[in-house]
Amino acid sequence: MSSSTPQLPHGPSLSELNLHHLRSFWFVARESSLTRGAELLGVTPSTLSAQVSALERALATPLFRRHGNRLEITRQGILVQRYASEIFGLSERLLEALGGREGNGERGRVRLAVGISDTLPILSAYTLLGPALALPAEEVRVVLRVGTQASLLGALGSRILDLLLTDVPIPPTAPVRVESYALDTGPVLLFAAPALARSLGDGFPASLDGAPFLLHTENSALRAGLDRWFAREGIRPFVAAEVEDVALLQLLGKDGRGVFAAPALAEAAIVEQYGVEVLGRAEGVRQSFQGVVLSRAHVNRAVEAVLRRSES
């Protein structure tokens, strides 16, 4: 080892290092926040704190100092963070060298770990994943996770995820460098349970004025488009409910509690699963879906199958 290479203090052996604890520390160091790191990893702050403390004991050195509610990484913590980044980068390159293959009896099987933005309709995500799900199960191990775009971007950046599906463009200020692929851009349809659909069928879309609606919450890109469409058409919906969870919104629609909007991409799946009917199209309202991967990251054949949709 050259004299210019930073060295950890003597004491702990490599056998004492727990890579799980090291990854936990790496998240906290990157986010400069225990709470934020816990959110990205899907654990409680107390659990994450215990894991970082265990690493500090194993290394026999403090990695953070507390200043009120703020964490400040120590000089030794910066050194550990640098090595941790190299370790996880090497592990990713090892997987790439093996063609993205899994170990532990899973030889020849690739991992498809997908993050699905919580604003994206699940049935739309299911449709977008169709090409990968069509691959033989013995060749692909699928892992699906739903969360906020911010938390999923963090998981993508740490290589926990291979792919992110979202209907909201990635902001240029995102903490990780990514490449976005346009998987689908299409019209938005309005659905209703059969009895409600029959009562609103004549004179569409004017017949929707005063009709009960199940709307997405205001953080949804689809909601913004619908609100503009309502204004253009002079429709004043009776808001029966605003629902953040898209699957729950569609279940309420199945029960006849209101009209709901969904992308035409998932039309067949929605009609089949919920037994609803299409009232018509919200003209001018479109919804786009992106597949997001890390810049210059290895892309296995399952991810390629999904992203290939952008070429059609």
List domains and CATH numbers for the chain.
Answer: 14-97 (1.10.10.10), 110-183+290-311 (3.40.190.10), 185-287 (3.40.190.10)
pLDDT of residue 5 exceeding 60: no
pLDDT of residue 105 exceeding 70: no
pLDDT of residue 284: 94
The residue whose two tokens read 């090291």 is 22
| 265 contacts: CB under 8 Å, gap ≥ 6 | 124, 127, 128, 184, 186, 287, 289
pLDDT of residue 218: 83
**Cα–Cα distance between 171 and 174 in angstroms, integer?**
6
pLDDT of residue 90: 64
pLDDT of residue 238: 97
Residue 98 or 105, more confident: 98
**Cα–Cα distance between 110 and 95 in angstroms, integer?**
10
Average pLDDT score over residue span 122-127: 89
For the chain, how big is the Rg over CA atoms in Å? 24
Q: 120 in helix, strand or coil?
A: coil
pLDDT of residue 3 exceeding 60: no
Cis amide prior to 237 (ω within 30 degrees): no
- Continuous segment of H or E residues that includes residue 13: none
Task: Record the pTM.
Answer: 0.64
pLDDT of residue 298: 74
Best-predicted range by mean pLDDT among 90-94, 148-152, 216-220, 301-305? 301-305
For residue 276, name the pLDDT band (cuts at 50, 70, 90): very high
Average pLDDT score over residue span 59-71: 84
Q: Could you tell me which residues are beta bridge partners of residue 115? A: 145, 164
AA identity, residue 88: F
pLDDT of residue 45 exceeding 60: yes
Average pLDDT score over residue span 229-242: 96
pLDDT of residue 175: 73
**Cα–Cα distance between 7 and 295 in angstroms, integer?**
30
Span 142-196, pLDDT tens digits: 888 888 888 888 888 877 889 999 988 888 887 778 899 999 899 999 999 999 9
pLDDT of residue 101 exceeding 70: no
For residue 311, name the pLDDT band (cuts at 50, 70, 90): low
Nearest to 163, CA basis, from 14, 297, 63, 27: 297
pLDDT of residue 250 exceeding 60: yes
**In the chain, alpha helices (H):** 19-31, 34-41, 45-59, 75-97, 122-128, 130-133, 149-157, 194-200, 221-233, 246-254, 267-274, 301-307
Residue 13 · residue 19 · CB < 8 Å: no
pLDDT of residue 114 exceeding 70: yes
**Cα–Cα distance between 163 and 171 in angstroms, integer?**
17
Q: Could you tell me which residues are beta bridge partners of residue 290? A: 166, 182
Residue 15 or 126, more confident: 126
Residue 72 or 282, more confident: 282
